[in-house]
Structure 1
Amino acid sequence: MAIDFEVKDHIALITLNRPERMNAMDAEAYQDLSDAWTEVRDNPDIRVAVVTGAGDKAFSAGADLKSFLGSPTDLSDFWLTQQGQLLNRGIEMWKPVIAAVNGYCLGGGLTLMLATDLRFATPSATFALSEVRRGVLPGNGGTQRLIEQLPHAVAMEVLLVGDRFDAETALRWGLINRIVDHDVLLEAAFDAARRISENAPLAVQATKELALRSRDVDRATGLRLEESLLKLLRHSSDAIEGPRAFAEKRPPAFVGR
């Protein structure tokens, strides 16, 4: 399998598993990854996902261009907009996703990371969107999310020049949360995942959805949506359990209902 998938204690671990190709993704890997994201989205037992790459050299070098050369697609595929949904291409994922970046994070690997919520990287992590040097552009959200997450001039340099930058630069720009040693990378990611999974699942998902939708609506609409979801959550069993557990000085037992 090009993608390894496992679930434990409400946390899904997705591993891009083509280390011999720096975890570059061919058509099979993209389909497996799409299936994994669908499972995370639809499985109520999953509250958080962690995505990483196999080995110690790469998170992902993006699309495996050699596997796509000489494989033209029918133009009609362009309108199959819901086919093969990915985290960075169309799927609505309100469960938090954490990236554990272990090495090269290039092209589609970086656009995948840009679609995650928390990001941890090793000191050797290297980032780039160099598609313009190959005659194409950084798809799957590359031209969209980078300009949202970086100052305009910085994002345009990354997009138009295509140079690589290191983990310290990514941290300084705010693209990652923390730099951690390779041997504790997954530990750091899972620690954050566990802390999130202990919170009320519906409240976590509602908070993420509101935060992301706020980029596309005016402030009055965003505040109205916020108030609407808050009123809805007040009818959940978790909204009863939270205050009760606090009053009883015990950890809450949230069930996502």
Structure 2
Amino acid sequence: MSEILFEIARPHVALITINRPEARNAVNSAVATQLDAAVKRVEADPDIWAAVLTGAGGVAFCAGADLRQVSEGGMDGLFTPDGAFAGFVKHRRDKAWIAAVEGFAVAGGCELALSCDMIVASEQSTFALPEVKRGLVAAAGGVYRLPRAVPRAIAMELIATGDRITARRAAELGLINHMTETSGAVEGALALAERICVNAPIAVRESLKVARTALDHDDDTLFQMGLDAQEVIKLTEDFQEGPRAFLEKRAPNWLGR
């Protein structure tokens, strides 16, 4: 059985599912290898404009590292050269990625969600970085991505205590984009992806490229990055299609080139 399921769930939208519900979708070497391949497939396919990442079973988005594999062979198998943990958290990604969280996203699972651009979570979902409770560090991005996603004081508390927060609290803090009813996270994430795909795909990618680095550079650097992104757009066929569609009072026909 494949540990990662891949499907085109909507036009231009890929749905990637961690398929280990019996293990709370914990990351083993097969998940890491196959998720790494799924990321590369999404990023290389010009007809895929957005991707949704979720976990099977409805109980857990992802419980983090598979501790059975860690106890038997260590952590190395959970990393890939391009994606690091789970083949995902450090992967170079230009497309829009949305985490659809059903149930708990803890430890490395929370870090997977944090490494996506957006999060949609159902109302029964919870989030936590409990590594300190086991004498560990949330080193797959959690210790720096969480302070970028929620107020600093709250992030420090969650990292230092390892405590869980509910989806409702996560929504109040701005950690998640949308909260859905139970079992509705995937549909909610796909709906968000469809809203993204109404727009020019290269424009979305170039805009996200700058936005992702907003906390890493000064204003002058970011301003120039925005200008550089606009120059990329000017070379595309979609650059003419947008104004033409507006003048002709019709929906644009984006080509993604």
TM-score, structure 2 normalization? 0.92
Give the counterpart letter for 2:19 in structure 1. Answer: N
2:70 corresponding residue in structure 1: 68
1:225 paired to 2:199:
no
CA change 1:86–1:234 in 2 (3 A) is farther
2:3 corresponding residue in structure 1: 2
Question: For 1:240-251, what aligned pairs fall within 5 Å after superposition?
Answer: 240-251=240-251
> Number of aligned pairs?
254
2:163 corresponding residue in structure 1: 163
1:140-192 CA-partner distances (Å, limit 9, x unpaired) = 11111011112222111111111111111111111011211134332221111
Cα distance in 1, alignment partners of residues 75 and 187 from structure 2: 41
Cα distance in 2, alignment partners of residues 170 and 133 from structure 1: 21
Q: CA RMSD in A?
A: 2.0
1:46 paired to 2:80:
no
Deviation larger for 101-110 or 2-11: 2-11
**Identity level (%):** 39
Contact 1:88/1:111 (8 A) holds in 2: no
CA change 1:73–1:116 in 2 (3 A) is closer
Q: 2:24 aligns with which of 2, 22, 28?
A: 22
1:182 corresponding residue in structure 2: 182
* Equivalent position SS for 1:50: strand
Structure 2: runs of 5 or more not aligned: none
Cα distance in 2, alignment partners of residues 174 and 242 from structure 1: 31
Contact 1:128/1:162 (8 A) holds in 2: yes
Cα distance in 2, alignment partners of residues 159 and 171 from structure 1: 18
Cα distance in 2, alignment partners of residues 220 and 119 from structure 1: 29
1:57 paired to 2:59:
yes
Q: 2:37 aligns with which of 28, 31, 35?
A: 35
Cα distance in 2, alignment partners of residues 73 and 115 from structure 1: 19
CA change 1:33–1:155 in 2 (3 A) is same
* Equivalent position SS for 2:217: coil
Cα distance in 2, alignment partners of residues 73 and 185 from structure 1: 30
1:117 paired to 2:124:
no
